Structure 1
Amino acid sequence: MTPKNIITTIKERQPNIKSIVYVGCGASQADLYPAKYFLEENSKDIRVSLYTANEFNYATPKAVDSSCIVITASLGGTTPETVEATSKAKKLGAHVITLTHIENSPITKDADYVLVHGFEKNYAAKLEKMTLAVQLAVEILYQFEGYDNYKEMINGFDKIYNLIEESVSTVLPEAKKFANSYKDDKLIYLMGSGATAKVAYSTSLCLLMEMQWVNSGNFHNGEFFHGPFEIVDKNVPFLLFMNDGKTRPMDSRALTFLQRFDAKITVIDAKDFGISSVISPKVVDYFNPMLISGVMRVYAEQLAIARSHPLTKRRYMWKLEY
């Protein structure tokens, strides 16, 4: 089924959806954030929330019932906490949709609807989970409340994958420069805003701490001046994500401050790749995270090469009981 067909079917069964709950862990939770961000900004009537899976399991929101859509995600479909959350949502009567790369994986057992996404084919395929989640969000808004920019979003979905592939094909020189410059840093800070805020979060937690064993922190650019900016100094390493859209002034303000004190800065800017010339400025905010994530993957791969530390290397994950 397509996202459109799934939401049409749910609406036929339950015309009065009151809440949407997104559930995942780590990168999968972050991949759901742009969808949550879209609905939060545009929906007038629907309650929207995002939970890490065990928080959902231990402190389940009362809104999870037949008037709720729960959307879960797990790349391999085996994350124990998210599998449990999917089953719990089903038992509570919610309409459960799951996103996974592996058909018939454990997470699909209690899901009402399953969207299987790509991953290996190319860089764009790695962003299918995030994009499908936003497609579901757009259909929820359009079918239950109406949405003036629906056509612009559909056009964006048609264009984003090609834009990612075109963009990543140009960034290798800058990615190598980043890798060689940052390979010996013991700590790297990540910053982002808007729909891209959780890209900074997942890059920090997953690509750096999990996959490279590099200490990292992440801040929302709007929160930067409410505490974190005190650690800025000459040559302190930062990686800043800049959006094309409404929250760009926050990104620019943060960049100006970092430059003022001669911090060590690398910027990945969606505007550099011409995103608003391909996708309508009315909806460009919601496509920044896909593009920036695709480009960041190239940077991460080059950092792994420069550090002689493969992205697949682990010492605890999947190796110990925890």
Structure 2
Amino acid sequence: MLGFDERRYGSVLGGAVSLRPQIEKLAAEIVAAEPNTLFLVGSGGSYAAMWPYEYLLTTRSALPVRSVIAAELVAAGNRQLTERSVVLLSSLSGTTRETVAAAEYCRARGVRTIGMTGDPNSPLAQVVDHVLVNPADDETASESYDIQLTLLSAAILHSLGEFDTYPRFAEQMDGIEAVLRAVQEQADPVAASFAARHSTTEYHMLVGSGPLWGFTYNYSMCILEEMQWLRTTRVHGAEFFHGSLELVERDTSLILFIGEDETRPLMDRVRGFAERYSDSVTVFDSADYALAGIDAEFRGLLGPLVMDSVTIRLSKHLEQVRDHPLDLRRYYRVVDY
């Protein structure tokens, strides 16, 4: 596969899975603390990566969960943030200044913190109470985050008595590397075809819902805009009807991310409209992938991980046909901001 580093891929995904004992211990401690709110805090892609798990927990438990932008938390505060709160913060480098500042803000208020990072010696790792460390890079960060957050959310639900089949799910997650590698292999020719067809397309409309809404936002902003300098609009599947559909023309590129969760009917509605009025609709549906070894009842939980694997293929092929390296930036961490 184009640009696929087998050794790095195995190391990152294996590393994330190996954190399960530590993750389960943290989940039990979070539930035992009976927090008034579990805050999920990040910046940019690390913030959007939290949304699927806010969705998962708020739709399956009564535990109050909120995702918050790190810089906004420090600037505006939050009355729900108290010594009874638990805060999970993520930054792959561990140096994102807004996220580090949010961790310091929480520590100064006696709030329990957990950090997710790729560097055990980073500023974030040094300031939080507990740290989950898994080295990764921009191409594997999404899988690393999503494996850890999937396991953490599921383990929290299990500790709350809301997920009795968690042990079976966790055992199946031990084999997730092979599952996602197979997804990449299947998606690669589809991604190559998309990239060839859209090598000069400058605008895409991306739509997703439920646990794939955060993913859709992330891929639109942090990959297509930041890493490919493409103009995009990201729209929630439930909100597509309220305005965005008026922008659809015959040549409008629509990219639809569809999962196997309870919001699938929202995306079926979008798909029906899109395919009627545009000749440039691309559908990425997790149901198209076998996910060997994953029971049907768990497939809806893995939507973000499946789409991580699909879209890294898309990103690598866009990088090639557009001759635009994924690590090329004009402003981000290049100029002072």
TM-score, with structure 1 as normaliser? 0.92
- Residue 276 of structure 2 is aligned to residue 260 of structure 1: yes
1:250 to 266, 284, 288: 266
Flag structure 2 segments of 5+ consecutive residues without an equivalent: 1-20
- Residue 93 of structure 2 is aligned to residue 73 of structure 1: no
Q: CA deviation at 1:122?
A: 7.9
- Residue 298 of structure 2 is aligned to residue 300 of structure 1: no
Question: Compared with structure 1, are the counterparts of its residues 11 and 216 closer, same or farther at alpha carbon in structure 2 (3 Å cutoff)?
Answer: closer
Counterpart for residue 214 of structure 1: 230
Q: Work out whether residues 38 and 134 of structure 1, in 8 Å CA contact, stay in contact via their aligned partners in 2.
A: no
- Residue 46 of structure 2 is aligned to residue 31 of structure 1: no
Counterpart for residue 313 of structure 1: 328
| Paired AA for residue 8 in structure 1 | A
Structure 1 residues 137-216: aligned runs within 5 Å: 137-216=153-232
| Paired AA for residue 97 in structure 2 | P
Q: CA deviation at 1:7?
A: 3.0
Q: Work out whether residues 160 and 291 of structure 1, in 8 Å CA contact, stay in contact via their aligned partners in 2.
A: no
- Residue 106 of structure 2 is aligned to residue 106 of structure 1: no
Counterpart for residue 71 of structure 2: 54
Q: CA deviation at 1:200?
A: 0.8
Secondary structure of the structure 2 residue equivalent to 1:287:
helix
Q: Work out whether residues 187 and 214 of structure 1, in 8 Å CA contact, stay in contact via their aligned partners in 2.
A: yes
Counterpart for residue 148 of structure 2: 132
In 2, distance between residues paired with 1:5 and 1:187? Answer: 45
| Paired AA for residue 114 in structure 2 | I
Flag structure 1 segments of 5+ consecutive residues without an equivalent: none
Aligned length: 317
| Paired AA for residue 36 in structure 1 | E
Question: Compared with structure 1, are the counterparts of its residues 182 and 137 closer, same or farther at alpha carbon in structure 2 (3 Å cutoff)?
Answer: same
In 2, distance between residues paired with 1:121 and 1:234? Answer: 34
Percent of pairs identical after alignment? 28
Q: Which whole-Å deviations, capped at 9, do the CAs of 1:43-69 have from their partners, x for residues lacking one?
A: 12x211001111111122222222211
Counterpart for residue 132 of structure 2: 115
Question: Compared with structure 1, are the counterparts of its residues 254 and 121 closer, same or farther at alpha carbon in structure 2 (3 Å cutoff)?
Answer: closer
Q: Which whole-Å deviations, capped at 9, do the CAs of 1:12-37 have from their partners, x for residues lacking one?
A: 6x3x2221000111111122222211
Question: Compared with structure 1, are the counterparts of its residues 319 and 78 closer, same or farther at alpha carbon in structure 2 (3 Å cutoff)?
Answer: same
In 2, distance between residues paired with 1:91 and 1:138? Answer: 30
Q: CA deviation at 1:144?
A: 3.9
Q: Which whole-Å deviations, capped at 9, do the CAs of 1:264-300 have from their partners, x for residues lacking one?
A: 111111111124x643333322211111111101101
Compute the RMSD of aligned alpha carbons: 2.0
Q: Work out whether residues 43 and 145 of structure 1, in 8 Å CA contact, stay in contact via their aligned partners in 2.
A: no
Q: Which whole-Å deviations, capped at 9, do the CAs of 1:179-232 have from their partners, x for residues lacking one?
A: 111121111111111101111101110111101111111001111111111111
Counterpart for residue 304 of structure 2: 289
TM-score, with structure 2 as normaliser? 0.88
